[in-house]
Structure 1
């Protein structure tokens, strides 16, 4: 009985075994872990961007510092765009794999 409760908690559907296989597949778990790590990297970049934006609001900010901060913000924005695109590609790849099964 504990087994059934554990499966219910996991949200697994035993009526459709192929779906169960996809949910529990090593590839799917690896993909989820990769996506999680990409979101972690986005979080770091966003936090760094927020810190730069706060520093940029200083009344004592020199023009060369503002230029450097703006360039760093641009780089962080590009990094976030690349990471976000990677997440989208991983998800779309998973959906295509699921359709092929």
Structure 2
């Protein structure tokens, strides 16, 4: 089953959202640790991004099964780095 890992930067808590629970019309999720709610606009963007990746992976599987193409799977990971930790050297 597909899911997203979410981290709340208000409290540092981490939690997971399962794809079957993701819909534009749903209330944005709350952090189960501090109860802060995700912004509605960001929630809609997250749902769109998730379903875009799901569609790409579905097509990878379909083209592999139907046409014998190489099988791939896309995964997106984002790592937050605090701006003060970034060092740019010339």
TM-score of the superposed pair, with normalisation by structure 1: 0.38
Q: TM-score if structure 2 supplies the norm length?
A: 0.41
Greater relative contact order (CA < 8 Å, ≥ 6 in sequence): 1
Structure showing greater Rg: 1
Q: Which has the higher strand share?
A: 2
Greater fraction helix: 1
